[in-house]
Amino acid sequence: MTVSALDNGITGNRIDSQTVLYGVIGDPVRHSKSPIMMNRAFRETGINGAYMAFHITPGKLGQFVAGIRAMGIRGVNVTIPHKLDIMKYMDEIDAGAQAIGAVNTIVNDNGRLTGYNTDGIGYVRSLKEEAEPELAGKRILVIGAGGASRGIVYALAGEQPSGITIANRSVERAEELAQSFRSLADIRAIANDELQAACGEADIVINTTSVGMHPHTDATPIDTSWLKPSAVASDLIYNPLRTKFLLDAEQHGCRVHGGLGMFIYQGAYAFEYWTGQPAPAAAMRETVLQSLV
C-alpha cells in the first residue's frame, strides 16, 4: 500500500507530522464503529487527528497507559472489559465517572490523565434531542441494572424526574443501583414481576438489558400493551436499529427512541472534551448508519 493510500484511503484524514493520535481500547475491539465515526468527525471539523482501534488485553492495560503518555495520545475511549480497571491509572476522575464507577473517556493533558464517563450524559442528550425534550417531572422506568443502566440512572437523576423505578431480573442488583443514587432523586427498585404495574404509571420506559439484541431479535423485555400510549419507549440496543420492543411500542401508539443516538452522543461528548469544539453529530450519525446497512 502506498503512503498516499494510507493518507486518503483508510481514514481519509490528513496524516502528517502534526497529526494528533486518538483511539479506542477494548477486548475485543475489531467490531467497534468508533474509528469510522471519530475519523469522520475530524474530517468534518478539519482537525488534524487520527483515531485507531487498539486491541488491549487486560494484562496489557498498564503498558498501554504508559504508551498514552509516552506517545502523547490526546484522547482514548475505553470499552469492555476495561471501564473499571482503567480507573486506577487515572490522575483525576470526574465526579460523574466516580459516582458511576466506570470511565469510558480519557483526556490526556500533557501527561496528566483525567477519566470521564460520557455514556449516561450521551444517552440523556440523545433522548432529549430525539424523543422527549423535557424530562423534569416525568416518571421513568428503567429495565435492567447492568453497567449501562448505572450511567443512565445517574444522568437521569440530574434531570429532576418525578421518580425513577429500576426493575431487574436479579432484584438485588436493582436495589443496589437504586441505593447508590437515592440521594440524587426519588429512586426505587422492583422485581420483574412488578413490571406491568410500573409500566402503567411510566411516562418513559427504557430497556437497558440486552434482551432483543441481535441475534435474538424476537425477544422483548415487556409486553408493550402494558405501556401508556402517550409514553416514550426507549431502547439502548442499536443492533437492530429498531428492536421488537420499539416496533411493538410504536404499534401501540408510543413515541420510540433507539440506541444509536446514545452511541453517537457518548462519542460527541468525548470529541468535545478532547478538542473543545462542538462535535459534528449529524455527520457522525450518517457515517455509522452507512456502516450498519
Distances (CA, A) of 116 to 82, 85, 186, 202: 13, 14, 25, 30
In sign, the C-alpha dihedral spanning 57, 62, 67, 68 is: positive
220 binds ligand NAP (CB under 6 A): no
Judged by CB under 6 A, the chain residues 28 through 67 that form the site for ligand NAP are none
- From the list 169-177, 180-188, 198-206, 243-251, the region that binds ligand NAP by CB under 6 A is 169-177
117 binds ligand NAP (CB under 6 A): no
Burial class for 131, CB neighbours closer than 10 Å (0-12, 13-18, 19+): middle
170 binds ligand NAP (CB under 6 A): yes
Q: Which is nearer to ligand NAP, 99 or 211 (CB)?
A: 211
Q: Is 33 annotated as a binding residue?
A: yes
Q: How many other CB atoms are found less than 10 A from the CB of residue 3?
A: 8
169 binds ligand NAP (CB under 6 A): yes
Q: Which is nearer to ligand NAP, 109 or 194 (CB)?
A: 194
238 binds ligand NAP (CB under 6 A): yes
Binding residue (CB under 6 A) for ligand NAP from 67, 96, 147, 158: 147
Q: Which is nearer to ligand NAP, 67 or 147 (CB)?
A: 147
> Cα–Cα distance between 221 and 242 in angstroms, integer?
14
**In angstroms, what is the minimal distance from the CB of 261 to ligand NAP?**
8
- Residue 83 annotated to the active site: yes
Count CA atoms closer than 13 A to 80's CA, side-chain side: 7
Q: Is 32 annotated as a binding residue?
A: yes
Amino acid type, 32: S
Q: Please state the φ and ψ torsions of residue 247, each to the nearest 5 degrees.
A: -65, -45
Judged by CB under 6 A, the chain residues 255 through 274 that form the site for ligand NAP are 259, 262-263, 266
236 binds ligand NAP (CB under 6 A): yes
168 binds ligand NAP (CB under 6 A): yes
In the sheet with 49-55, reading across from the earlier edge strand, the strands are: 49-55, 20-26, 75-78, 105-109, 112-116, 92-93
228 binds ligand NAP (CB under 6 A): no
224 binds ligand NAP (CB under 6 A): no
180 binds ligand NAP (CB under 6 A): no
Catalytic one among 83, 88, 138, 244?
83
Close Cβ partners of 206 (under 8 Å, ≥ 6 residues apart): 140, 141, 142, 143, 152, 234, 235, 236
Q: Please state the φ and ψ torsions of residue 46, each to the nearest 5 degrees.
A: 75, 15
Residue nearest to ligand NAP (CB): 146
145 binds ligand NAP (CB under 6 A): yes
> Which positions touch ligand NAP (CB under 6 A)?
119, 144-149, 168-170, 173, 208-211, 213, 236-238, 259, 262-263, 266
Residues serving a catalytic function are: 83
